[in-house]
Chain A
């Protein structure tokens, strides 16, 4: 079942920390978001393989917005 990893805070996507094809575990930091003058990592809640990024580096995201798709 594909699952999305969502932004835990609104802000600007500074950096992708994982790439398409990477297999990640739950608790992996997948992206850094610049928010409230801090670089806040988004942590995956589930394990899986990164299928697709939905937002580019530099893009503004809202809290709860899907950042990437994970395949299990």
Chain B
């Protein structure tokens, strides 16, 4: 006598669980342009690597004789898998069961799914497609009471951000706790058209007099432009590919170091185009992204947060195979001036780098913090000071590449406080506590006003001062370590990455990660 009858029973139950919320619900879900939770997991992880945990959990129905006659799986599906051959933990909401809401799950399973990655020091990927934590106010009638807001194991869930990489994909309409689960991550995405996110949905918002659709209230482009999430993507499949790419730059946890990948790109490769990348005319802007794609390992530049805080470019990349974090200016937006949003975006990147011990490369062209009444009202100095603090708190090795401008307090963002710091300037660089054009009027007002031809006098002073602005004058006083041929930038950067690699140390940062 074997245990085959029990195995047959388990196989039957697992087959029922494969039906998710039933054919009708699944068909409606697909008709809305969305993949099922099982298809999502299969699309995300290495083929055949998913080992589900708790596949038997859910809501069974038994007939009078005690025979199983129906089964609805819990709408939290989770398990271990590999991505690029490395262990990850996956948790995914099943929208076809109770709309992904909490009351279609099991409390203990939710707690397990959210905290297991942290226990085993491996990345967590969350596929969020649930309406929220509270379920429905109808519960009041069944419970006969209410309760103070809490999420099971919330402290552990948030603390995981200081331990393991967390990627969250918003894959449906998510509100309340679902929305917070998307934001509580190091990298988050939403899909154009099929995913929305809000504190509360349109019916609730209508009560404050706003009649809007889900898309108008919290569509992917709204959140990608204000930084609620990192990126908007065109499809779920694109989200899976980007999640895999993101994780390839990171270590398994803060307790290990990011691995070097083999590369065929020569460490000393030069690029002739870089000699003219920055226009001589100071009024002309230039494109920073082609510079980045040129100097990092071929095809390794991975941008994050492209649609918000746009005067700053943030991303990950590789140098001679070593993963690094990249901060750069985009002069197409406010000439590269740091807005309040740009500061918040820079903080997010630098905190990620410090948490996971990634050296930082900063391509600097910063005329200052954004000025003017709008900028002041956005709190730019508060966020700017926060950004400077985040940068100084980062102890990872740092490389500053001074491409063009570095002025004022915002110019301090070029470097952190580590001793493992290198800095190079391109010949196009210029810097100072304030730009000459703005400073001359203030400093020489009396002289200019007393002159017979004030305009000519101002011009004369500006010309005289500009001669001092050449970076070579700073280099003479060892105020900058070196001025390099821009064509050879990659050689200096790969040297930095190789010097930095053995200096990286594991462990938690001095501060907890705040998403």
* Interface check A9, CB cutoff 8 A: yes
On whether the beta carbons of B374 and A40 are closer than 8 Å, the reply is: no
Partner of A37, one of B283, B310, B372, B374: B283
Partner of B331, one of A10, A38, A43, A63: A38
* Interface check B333, CB cutoff 8 A: yes
Partner of B334, one of A9, A39, A41: A9
On whether the beta carbons of B335 and A35 are closer than 8 Å, the reply is: yes
On whether the beta carbons of A40 and B285 are closer than 8 Å, the reply is: yes
Q: Complex Cα distance A9/B330, Å?
A: 13
* Interface check A8, CB cutoff 8 A: yes
Residues in B365-382 with C-beta less than 8 Å from chain A: 367, 372, 374
On whether the beta carbons of A38 and B285 are closer than 8 Å, the reply is: yes
Partner of B283, one of A9, A39, A43, A63: A39
Contacts of B285 in A (CB 8 A): 38-41
Interface residues on A, range: 10 to 19
Partner of A43, one of B332, B337, B372, B374: B332
On whether the beta carbons of B374 and A36 are closer than 8 Å, the reply is: no
Contacts of A40 in B (CB 8 A): 285, 331-335
Residues in B340-359 with C-beta less than 8 Å from chain A: none
B70-94 near A? 1/0 per residue, CB < 8 Å: 0000000000000000000000000
Interface residues on B, range: 10 to 19
B413-455 near A? 1/0 per residue, CB < 8 Å: 0000000000000000000000101000000000000000000
Partner of B437, one of A8, A37, A41, A63: A37
Q: Complex Cα distance A35/B337, Å?
A: 11
Q: A8-B333, A9-B333, A9-B334 are in contact. Are A38 and B283 (CB under 8 A)?
A: yes
* Interface check B4, CB cutoff 8 A: no
Contacts of B437 in A (CB 8 A): 37
* Interface check B284, CB cutoff 8 A: yes
Of A10, A40, A41, A63, most buried by chain B (CB within 10 Å of CB) is A40
Write the chain B residue with the least CB distance to A62. B374
Contacts of B331 in A (CB 8 A): 38, 40
Write the chain A residue with the least CB distance to B221. A45
Q: Complex Cα distance A63/B333, Å?
A: 11
Query: How far in angstroms is the closest Cβ of chain B from A27?
Result: 10
A42-63 near B? 1/0 per residue, CB < 8 Å: 0100000000000000000001
Residues in B265-308 with C-beta less than 8 Å from chain A: 282-285
Q: Complex Cα distance A63/B310, Å?
A: 14
Partner of B367, one of A36, A39, A63: A36
Contacts of A41 in B (CB 8 A): 285, 332
Q: Complex Cα distance A53/B56, Å?
A: 62
On whether the beta carbons of A39 and B333 are closer than 8 Å, the reply is: no
Q: Complex Cα distance A10/B372, Å?
A: 10
Query: How far in angstroms is the closest Cβ of chain B from A60?
Result: 14
Query: How far in angstroms is the closest Cβ of chain B from A44?
Result: 12
Query: How far in angstroms is the closest Cβ of chain B from A6?
Result: 12
Of A9, A10, A38, A40, most buried by chain B (CB within 10 Å of CB) is A38
User: Can you list 22 pairs linking A and B with CB atoms under 8 Å apart?
Assistant: A8-B310, A8-B332, A8-B333, A9-B334, A9-B335, A10-B372, A10-B374, A35-B334, A35-B335, A36-B334, A36-B335, A36-B367, A37-B335, A37-B437, A38-B285, A38-B331, A38-B335, A39-B284, A39-B285, A41-B285, A41-B332, A63-B374
Residues in B lying within 8 Å of A, measured CB to CB: 282-285, 310, 331-335, 337, 367, 372, 374, 435, 437
Residues in A lying within 8 Å of B, measured CB to CB: 8-10, 35-41, 43, 63
Additional 14 contacts, C-beta under 8 A, given A36-B334, A41-B285: A9-B335, A35-B334, A36-B337, A36-B367, A38-B283, A38-B335, A39-B283, A39-B284, A40-B331, A40-B332, A40-B333, A40-B335, A41-B332, A43-B332
